[in-house]
Structure formats: structure tokens, C-alpha cells
Amino acid sequence: MKKLKLSENALRVLENRYLRRDENRKLTETPEDLFQRVASNIAQASARYNEDGEKDREDFLRIMTDLDFMPNSPTLMNAGNELQQLAACFVIPVEDTMDGIFDAVKYAALIHKSGGGTGFSFSRLRPKNDYVRTTGGVASGPISFMEVFDAATNTIKQGGKRRGANMGILNVDHPDILDFITCKEDNDSLNNFNISVAVTEEFMEAVQNNGEYPLINPHTGQETKKLKAREVFNLIVEMAHKNGEPGIVFIDRINHANPTPELGKIESTNPCGEQPLLPFEACNLGSINLATMVKKAEDGKYRLDYDHLKKVIRIAVRFLDNVIDMNNYPMPEIREMALANRKIGLGVMGWADLLIKLRIRYDSQEAVELAEKVMTFIQEQAHEVSVKLAEIRGPFPNIEKSIFKIPQRNATLTTIAPTGSISIITGSSSGIEPIFALSYHRNVMDSTLTEIHPLLEEVAREEGFYSPELMKKIAEKGDLQDLEEIPDKIKDIFVTAHHVSPEWHLKIQAAFQKHVDNAVSKTVNFPNQATTEDVAQVFILAYRLACKGVTIYRDGSRESQVLIKGPAKGDRHKRPRPRMTVGATTKTEIGCGKLYITINSDENGICEVFTSTGRGGGCHSQSEATSRLTSLALRSGVPVAEIIHQLRGIRCAASLKRKGVPNTSCPDAIGRAIEEYLKYADKESINRYNILMSQNNKEPDTFLNNGSSVCPDCGMEMEHEGGCVLCRNCGYSKCG
């Protein structure tokens, strides 16, 4: 096998999240080994159909090692391993009974443990305060049960390589819809959920006509009241403007494209919204890297290589169909539905990179037309392969209950998913998003390096304006617009996500959606100064352009309003200990006695931690060392979330042996105490500090908002893309 061309960042993400390790956490696998493992495992399914498994193995290996195609993360992580759970997306029904609700919680836990994400519609649950005949009490409503799902996810996601992620959907005509729309107004609520409102054609028509629409109790089927549609729509817009949620899914449009309507209605999607699924359905995804689908013509310009693209599509469809047979499903109900409908989701990544190579501006009509052309080609080729597979292997078993007149192997074939970590492995732009930034920060050992986008350097050399000095200037500035050394045509093609207007984000999304079986995951980015009217116009435009859903993010809207002041991101110079602090002390139990943890704040937030042990003794040196290092990290600009993440879950034999101890070790106790302090005391402590400072005739420093999301694993800036959040430094993804 030829040598893999992987970036340093790709290698780091593979080592952190994908490669095998032994019980001592020592790596036992190389990237080459990983792709061999996956290709060999998935090709085994071909032999079941008396096909040439060795040829498929070679084909599968080639498209992965050439970085032309990459399957979803669970397949890379688990194929050929003991777990063997290969699907990314699941939808679990939530029935309106206590047994049904907690069965769904259990199913979600099993799926999250196996590395999958889950979608739920809570629309079947009776509204809060509705009479419950069996108990004589009243119902608590969908949102209270969403909190149960969220807590369960929080517990399960502590282990494993992928964090649990959920989609929560509620129909716009549910009586609790107003509470649902505002349920994530507090940024600390339901953090393991993305939420979307399922809006109907009736509702959207009422919005446009300024009419009313009925709310229906799902338990009785009776109308409870009417609401003004435009007021509800405006509330959705207001909340989305505030912090990006809820999104919208056009549920009638989704069901109009349901390939198996006789099996029931689609109620929900996976966590990022691109995969509508029936209850108990699963889908495995994979993406073609469009950045590698180009060749240089005789005139020196790049052209899209449709012959190469065709070959990759045909191999990728076989690969994903094989995954269905090789998958170890977490539940028998899911296995039954997956094998009966055989849904796959082939998508793309590297779209922005492709446009740059072809010298096409992202926000242009030329890009929209190319999007339609490319996705039409992928769609047609994928369905052609599925028809041929049906002739050899047989059509999907539920074909008689489908809309298809010609037998095919798979009920759906195409999906545009957020590619997150796999786009880091291929070194490509994510999904169909624009490039996020021209320069980015990367942690290397104890320092932070600033690097420019690799294609910018490549284009600079090709166009003859490269110089090390200019590249350094771009890296520091992060923008091309005021640099006279760079031609205007180059400035045009390196447009970044925040410089693409919302309308063009949607035009690109709609162009792909026209030729995609499932849906398109995409984030419409807004500048921070965008108004609610701007958001409303995008929601209406998404409806008019026949999108199946829409997610927006206004820059800086999801971050805390009181963040650490001081050095720029990545600058780890320690700030001095303040003269005065205020705080609180927590008493807790550890394996060898009592531990007292004091946490203090200054005007910037938490700045130090002290510990002392009770009379029973204990590991005083360990707890003191942990608290000193924690204090140092806090004053050196390390994000609090990262510190908590590193401390929580560390185990100590003494704590594990002693019954009733709420902490697994001294460091775990400190991490828990900081977490609790953030929830209940930090803002109050900062306020007390400011009062003390003003009483001492000292003006408190101004709080600054750095306008970025911070990765909980490595502390670097994260990107909002494809309905998810991604760290390109370490591969962390909110959605797994």
C-alpha cells in the first residue's frame, strides 16, 4: 500500500479518536492499519453474495487511502473491532406511556454507548397539565422528559470516543410548542440536544397570510386553542437569533419525499437534521471528497474529473450497502428496519475546496449551477448502481411498500451531512460549507501556531504572488481584503463563511437539496449584528426554495456574556494572582475521608482553587498538587470547561472501595466542585467582587466577550457548521 498523505492535524485526530489502543492506552494501530482493517471488514459482505470480496477490499482501501471517500466515524472506529456498530444515525419513537418513554431512554443509552446519535419526536406526548387517567394526576409534558433524556446522555457520553448527541423535535401544533421554542433560551439547558420545530404547510401558509392555526392535543386528537401563526413564527425567529435554536424542519415536505409511505410517517431526523428517518430506522453515511475530483488540463486550469468521480461513486455505494450487512445493530427492532429498507446516505465534502481550485466564487450563480450539476451526476450514478445491485443482490425487502417502479437496492442513497472529523482526516473543507477561516490556530506542544489555509499557499504559488512574508502577513491578519499584493480575482474565491450572505448560503443548500434523497445539513451563518428580520427572511426563503430544513447561527450568539478577559486565544501567559478574591467552600467525601474545596473568583471568573483534608487524613499531597496546577491553569487562560473535562472521571482505588462516595478521586471531586460552582456561585461571586472593588475605590475591569466557542477538549476556537460544532485542532464535535 502506498504511503498515506495525511496532514499533521489529520494524524493527531486519528490518534486521538480513531486508532486502536491497548488497555494501557498505548497505540496498537497506524492509519494504514486502520484503513486496511475497515476495507477488509466491509468487503466480507461481498462474499455473502458470491462476489469478488478481494476486489472490493482493494477498491474500498484505495478510495479511502487516496482520500477520495470516507465513511462516517462509527464505521472507521468500529469496523473489525469487537463493537462493530457502524451506523451514525438513528431515530427512536417516544410513545405516550411511561414504559414507552423510558424504553426510549434505554434505547438511546444503548445507541450512544455504541457511538451513534439519536433523533426523537416528542410530539406524541400529551401536554403538561393534561389529565392522566391511570394515576389521577397530571402530565408533566414533553420538555420535562427531554430533560430526562438529556441527563441520561450526559452520563453515557462520559466514556467512549464519540459523545452522545440528540435531536429533539416537536410539531408546531403541539399545545406545548411555545415552551418548546424557548426551552433552550438558557444556554445551560438541554446541552445534549439540538432542537427543531416541525412546521407544516398549513402553518407556513398561515404565517404568510397572517392567520391562525389550531393546537391539537396528541392524546385526544382534540383542538385545544388557536394561535396566531406569525406570532409563533416570530418567537422561533427571536430564539434562533438569540442562540441559534430552534431550527426548522419542513415536516410535510419531508414526508412528501418519504420513499416508503405505507410504513408510516417520518417524525424526526438525526441530530444534524440531514437524515429524516422512520421510527427505529438507522442510516450509515459516507462522503466523497470533491477536492480530489479534479485534474489539470493542458491549459493549466483545473477541471472536474467526472470519470474519476463516477468510479468513486460506484465503489462508495457498494461500500455503504455492505456496511448494512456488516453492522452489529444495538437493537433487534433497528436491525429489522435497517435490513428491510437498506437506507444509505452518500454525500460530499470539499465543496469549497473544489470551487477554489476551479477559481469559482462560493457566492455566485456559477457555483449554484455547478452544485446542481455535480449533485445531479452523483444522484443519477448512485441510483444506477443501486438498480444494478438489486439485480444481483435483490431489492430492499420493503420495495413493495415504496414509491419505486424500478427495483433498487436502497430506499435512499444520498445525503449531505456535516463531515466534521472525517474532513479533517482528508484535509478538506467540511460538507458544502464555505471555508471557515483563512488562518487558524493549532496547539503544538505548549505553544499555539497560526497557519494559513493550505489552498491559499498553493494558489499563491500557482498565481505567482507567493512570498513567506506575505503568508506571514495573511496568517496574522486572517483576511485578504486590504492586501494590495493579492489580485482581486483571488480575493473573490477565498470568501469565508462569515462573508457569504445568508441568501447565498441558502441558494447553495437549495441547489444540492434538489438532487438529494434525504436532506442537507448546513448552517446559514449571520454576522453578530444581524437582526431578527434578517433571520425571518432566511426562514421564509428556505421555505420558498424547497429546502427540507434550515439551521442558522449568528456569530457570537451562543457564548457566555462574561468570559475571561486578557490575552488572545492561545496566549498562555499567566496573569498574576489578584489582591482580593471572593468564593465558596464545598465539603465532600473522598475515598480516605473528607475533602474541603475552596474556589475563588475575581472580576474575570474563577482564578484559584485550594483544598484541605479533614481529620481522617487523606491524600493531602495529591489534592494540593491538583489544586495548585488547577489554579495555575485558570490564571494561564485555559478554559474552565477544559479543566473540568480533564479532572472529571479520574479514578482512585480508595474511592472505588468505599461505599457511598460521590467522587471517584480527589481530582474528580475538584472537577465536580468547579462545575457546581459555575452553575450556582460564579456570577454571584463576580458581582460580590465588583462591589468590594468599588467599595475600595477601585474601578473593576471591563468584561470582554471574545466572540468564539471554545473546545472543551483542547481550548481552541470551534466552528459552527452543518448544524453542528467542530474543533479543527483536535477533532472534537458536539454531534459526535
Locate 258 and state its grid cell.
418519504
Q: Rg of the chain over CA atoms, in angstroms?
A: 26
d(CA 471, CA 317): 40
Tell how strand 294-296 and strand 247-250 pair up: unpaired
d(CA 376, CA 365): 17
Question: Exposed, middle or buried, 467 (CB in 10 Å: 0-12/13-18/19+)?
Answer: exposed
Nearest Cα to Cα of residue 12 among 633, 724, 732: 732
For the chain, give the number of residues: 736
Q: Count Cβ neighbours within 10 Å for each residue of 252-275 and write b for 16 or more, e otherwise.
A: ebbeebbbbeebeebbbbbbbbbb
d(CA 170, CA 246): 10
CA 395 from chain centre, in angstroms, equals: 33
Backbone angles phi, psi at 594, to 5 degrees: -90, 145
d(CA 282, CA 47): 23
Asked if residues 37 and 71 have their Cβ atoms less than 8 Å apart, the reply is: no
Q: Where do the H-state alpha helices sit in 157-271?
A: 177-181, 201-209, 229-243, 251-256
> Cα angle vertex 566, ends 561, 568, to 5°?
95
Roughly how many angstroms between the first and final C-alpha of the chain, as a whole number? 30
d(CA 456, CA 397): 49
d(CA 398, CA 562): 54
AA letter at 238: E
Question: CA 268, 271, 277, 279 torsion: positive or negative?
Answer: negative
Backbone angles phi, psi at 700, to 5 degrees: -65, 145
DSSP states of 579-627: S--EEEEEEEEETTEEEEEEEEEETTEEEEEEEEE-TT---HHHHHHHH
d(CA 427, CA 8): 10
Would you tell me how many other CB atoms lie within 10 Å of the CB of residue 408? 24
Locate 446 and state its grid cell.
505548549
Active site residues: 270, 272, 274
DSSP states of 34-76: HHHHHHHHHHHHHHHTT--HHHHHHHHHHHHHTTSEEE-HHHH
Would you tell me how many other CB atoms lie within 10 Å of the CB of residue 100? 13
Q: Where do the H-state alpha helices sit in 198-302?
A: 201-209, 229-243, 251-256
CA 119 from chain centre, in angstroms, equals: 13
d(CA 666, CA 75): 37
Nearest Cα to Cα of residue 60 among 78, 81, 84, 44: 44
Using the structure block, give the residue that is written with the C-alpha cell 449584528. 529
Locate 710 and state its grid cell.
471554545
d(CA 64, CA 446): 32
Q: Give a three-class secondary structure readout of 74-115.
A: HHHHHCCCCCCCCCCEEECCCCCCHHHHHHHHHHHHHHHHCC
Locate 63 and state its grid cell.
478510495
Asked if residues 339 and 324 have their Cβ atoms less than 8 Å apart, the reply is: yes
Q: Number of helices (H) and strands (E), helices first, in the chain?
A: 25, 25
